[in-house]
Structure formats: C-alpha cells, structure tokens
Structure 1
Amino acid sequence: MAKRSRTKARDQQQTPGEVGPRQPCPCGSGRRYKACHGSPDGPPPVFVKRPFEGLAAEGDLIALRELVPAATAPLTLKEGDREVVLATLLPGAAPAYVDADGRVVLALQVLHSFGDPARDLGAVLVQALAYAEQGETGTVGLTSDPGEGPRLQDLIVDEPLDVTVHESFGYWSDLIGDETGAVASAAEQADAQMTPSRKLAAVPAAYWADVHTKEHLRWVMPEPEDELLDALARLHAAGEDQVAEGSKLVGMFRAHGLLTPVWDLPAGTGAEVLEEGAAAFRQRLDAALATTEPLTTEQRSVRSALAGRQVTIR
C-alpha cells in the first residue's frame, strides 16, 4: 500500500506533459527517458544495424571489417580524383593515413563506438581529404562523435570492390612508407597472428581461411536473415549444403545486419577447389530461396539448430 502511495505521489508531482524518468523516451529508441534524452550526458549514439546497406560492396565491406586480416581495395570518389585506398588495418589501428603524394588510406577495422560505422568512415574520409588538400601528411582520426555529416556511401561511387587479399601486412610499408623501419617491424608482429585468407572469384563476399588446425569458408550473404535461414534449412535437410567434399555447415556469424554462414573444411582443401563448389551451392541456394512451401517438421528442426549456432560480432 505504501509503495502504491509513493508512486501516486510521484505522479502527482510530475508536471502535465512532462516525461517521467522511467517512462519510454519520446524519441522512440525504446529506452527509458532517464537512459536516453533525459540522461545528463545526453542520448547514446543511434545504433545503425545495417550501416552499409544499399552498397554493391556491402558483403565485402563487412568481410574486410570483421573477418579478413590483410586486404586492400581502391575506392572511387564521387567528387574529385584523389587516390583513396581502403585497407583492413593500419599500424596502431590508425583510422586513416595521408602520404606525401596526397594518397588517402582509409582503414576499416577501427571501432569508434559512435553507432554508425558508415558515418564514422565518412567523417574520417572527409578529414583525410581535407588534410590532403592542405598538403599535410600523417595519421587522421576521430576524437569525438562526428555528429551529422556524409556517410561512406555518400562519398564513394557505388560499385563492387576490387579486393586484393595480402599474405602479409608488409603492404603497410608500400602504402604509408617506412623510413625508420618501424612499420616493417609492426607488420612482422602482426603477421605472427595472421590467419591466411583468400577471396573466391566465383561468388561475391566469400573468403577461405586457414586457421591452422582446419580450414573455413566464410561467406557474407545479402539475403534477409529469416529467408536465408529457411533456405539453408531446406538445403541442409536435403544434404545439399556442401561446398566441397567433406565440408560441413557449422554455424554463422551475424555482423552489421547480415549473416555469414561458415563451413568447416578438411585440412588441405585450399581455396581453388571451392570455386566450383561455391558456385554450384549458390545455384541451389537461389532455388531454395525461391521456394514458398512451408518448412517441413525436419526442416524446422534444422532451422532451429542453425539459428542456435549464430555468433553476433557487431
């Protein structure tokens, strides 16, 4: 009874039209007002579930950001002819680097925690381009939430990425120079923990990886999660989900709004043999995606098991 009275007294003290601290925030975030726009620190960053949506290179961007250790790809700007290179990682996890020739190197594997990776990358790229125009060289990055501004897709031409996967972080020296040898030393340290990878040519956003004890195929797929899980369940139940002899679909990552199915491969499989198998699997997957019949009991069981073997990265 006392608790009800205290609640009633609080409600009576609240100004009409005012939002209570424990009420949902009017912004629609789903958080309580005191943890959102009513917080002394202001609202937390808006989380963008699928930051690279709409880009032809969405799958490769996710793979290079989350799964592939060392890779580069040229970017074409919508305005200007400045040379811009996308890299998975730079020494010291630098967000970007401008070299003496005015070339901009933009790194993907940087966690700013401002809610929208595409916005963060856009802000870094804008700063790096301004740096280059001023004739400055060196590292560029964000020190605070960039706020409103262009996202990556606002700044670059929407086209597939021409990805080069490197066997070593030695590409750092080629991109940013190395007068003191410090970059080469950092590359050697990074190489010691590197997982060799290869990009498949037959299908988009699919990468073979050698994790020493076994091999994997990691394939970022653009389909909506529910539809993809249904299709994968149909293929698995029919024994048609292999991409090579002895391969096994073991689970999937979830990153930036897309699923990345993962296959275990027997040691010694290699990337080359996957080209034909992955292309054939893509055809079977497309057919399964086009199927509208309800899942069978067995397929629903498989789907549930696949959904339980998901690991969310971002």
Structure 2
Amino acid sequence: MAKKSRNRPEEPLPLYDGKVVGPREPCPCGSGKRYKVCHGVPGATTFVKRPFAGLPQECDLVAMRELVPSATAPLTIKGHEDRTVLLASLLPLAAPAMARDSGQVWAGLQVQHSFGDPSREVAAALLLALQAEESGIVGMLEAPGPGPRLQDIVVNETIDVTVHDGFEFWIGDVEDRTGLEDALQQANEAATPTARLTGVEAAYWTNVGSKEHLRWVMPEPEDELLTALARLHVTRADVIVPGARFVGMFRALGLLAPVWDLPVGTGAEALEEPAAAFKVALDAALADGSDLTPEERSARAGLANRQVTIR
C-alpha cells in the first residue's frame, strides 16, 4: 500500500459565506486558532462572517453586539406579532433570552457563547422563549443546529435602537423590585456612558473616563472603505472635530468600525454636524474612481495595519 505524501497540500475548506480558508490559516472568527482546529473541525458550527447582513440597521446591530453597553430595540417576530419582543445589547447574567413574568420576551446580543452564527443563535433563543410555558432564562450550552435565522423571522422594516444610560430597563416591567437594587447598581457602574448620533447611521460616542471616542460601524465593503478613508486621511479631512485623531478600526462581524479619539469634554451633541459633513466627504471619496497617489497608497497601507478584529 502506497504511503500518503506528507507534503500533499491540504484542500481549502469552505465557509458559510462562500469564501474559502486554508486549514492552517487563522480562523476568521478571530479566536487566534488555526481554522482546522476551530470552525474547520468536522461537525463544527459553520462560521458566518457577516451574520446580520440583510437585516434592517445591520450596522446598529453590530454595534449593539460589540460596542454598546446598554441598548434595546423592539422586534416584531413572524407568527408572534401579538407578543412584545425586545432585543437588548446585554441581559442579566448575559442570558441569551428571557421569558418575563410580564409576558414579554427578551433576547440578548452580548452572550457568553459563540457558535459561529449570532443571527441563528439569537433566533433560536428567541423562539424558545416565545414557546416557554413559564417565565425564566433561556440558556444555550451548545450550538442550536439548523433552523431559522433572524432574517427569516424578523418582519420589521426598520429597527429603532434606544441607547440607555444604564440597565434600568432590566426592571422596567417588574413590579416588585426588592433585592434587585444592588445588582442593578453594579451593572450600571460598569456601563460606560454612550450615545448614538442622530444624523448618521450607527455612529456612537462614548466616554471611557480618561478619553472620549467616536466609534462608527460602516456598511461599505472593506477594500472600498479603506481606500476612501485613505484619501480623506491624506488631506486631514478625517479630523472629525478640532483635536480629534483617527486612530484605526475595529473589524466586527464582517464590517469595519472606524474609531476616533476625541478631546475630553467633546460630548455627543458636538459631533452631530461634523459627522454629517464627514459622511458627505466619505461618500464623495467612495465615488472617486481615480488611482491612488503614492501618499494615498501609503496611508491606505498604514490604515490596513491598524485594524483589530472583534470576535
């Protein structure tokens, strides 16, 4: 019997979104592991690079999952139009979903598990909570398996995101709040002040104490967005407000989220007009089909090296 060649190249393995990745390449989920021992393991849950694509306010959903400490958005679920359903950035105990005593059903985006497709996981938790006969937490200790995703069950044409100062919404439908104050205070103290800008989509100001930031999740394809940002960087048109500094980007759930450091004391309101003006300049740069100058190519390479992946 002939021996198998040890030098035979391994075949790339397909991903859910139609792209391929080699077994020895880093897993696209951001775990730091090689693909063959992460989402490339036979039987592993398929990794979806852009899980919220096709949903209204995809960029805001990414922000709620990755960047915003406390936010909610009401959902209307197919077949359950009469139920009050709330999607939250974070629920108590980082629960995937909850069937509430009030009859409401909540789902959380920031959870402790990660099986490769947040859209499928949130949908599965929501449906379990909607079918629950008693109130309580819906857990998820293993991948949910085949089934509908949020894109299949959400009927909203728009999703209205509300950013909260803390987590008081956790007890908004609770009549007896005895014994809940301490846990709520602890959660509130851990939440950094955050506000969503109203004039542009999915741009969030936050105050982390020693600094303020603007973090803006953008829907454009990565290559096109990097090129446009490089054009603006060379002309310093990426300075949102005086004293601000464009510091790089997060890569989160298939989208880029540029980040600016802001002077302390800037606040969210002062960003509204500058952010709207920047969006106009960015759209013009995205429409510019001319070749990059040497300075712009250098800036683009520098921006590409300043990306951090959020799982």
Range of TM-score over shorter length: 0.7 to 0.9
Tell me the SS of whatever aligns to 1:11. Answer: coil
Question: 1:239: how far off?
Answer: 1.4
Q: Does 1:196 align with 2:189?
A: no
- Which one-letter code corresponds to 1:104 in the other structure? V
Q: Does 1:246 align with 2:233?
A: no
Q: Considering only aligned residues, what root-mean-square deviation do their CA atoms show, in Å?
A: 2.5
Query: What is the number of residues matched between the two proteins?
Result: 293
2:274 counterpart of 1:277: yes
Partner of 2:147: 149
CA-to-aligned-CA distance 1:127-173 (integer Å, 9 cap, x gap): 01111xx3x11111222211100001111124332111111122211
Q: Deviations over 1:269-296 (max 9, x none)?
A: 1100111111110000000000000110
Deviates more, 1:155-164 or 1:59-68: 155-164
Per-residue deviation, 1:88 = 0.9
The alignment partner of 2:269 has SS state of: coil
The separation in 2 between residues aligned to 1:181 and 1:10, in whole angstroms, is: 68
Moved more, 185-194 or 53-62: 185-194
Aligned partner of 2:73 in structure 1 is: 73
Seen in structure 2, the aligned counterparts of structure 1 residues 166 and 49 have a Cα distance that, compared at 3 Å, is: same
Q: Distance in 2 between matches of 1:176 and 1:151?
A: 30
CA 1:150–1:288: 2 relative to 1, 3 Å: same
Are residue 84 (structure 1) and residue 76 (structure 2) matched?
no
Percent identity of equivalent pairs: 56
SS of 1:273's partner is: helix
Instruction: Give the conservation status (yes or no) of the 8 Å contact 1:71–1:88.
Output: yes
State which of 218, 221, 238 in structure 2 corresponds to 1:221.
218
- The match for 2:102 is 101
Q: Which has the higher helix share?
A: 1
The aligned amino acid for 2:273 is: E
Matching of residue 63 in structure 1 with residue 63 in structure 2: yes
Query: Quick one: distance in 2 between partners of 1:236 and 1:23?
Result: 41
| Equivalent residues in 2 for 1:1-314, closer than 5 Å | 9-11=2-4, 23-24=10-11, 30-31=22-23, 35=36, 42-81=42-81, 82-131=83-132, 134=133, 136-175=134-173, 179-182=177-180, 184-314=181-311
TM-score normalised by length of structure 2:
0.87
TM-score (norm 1): 0.86
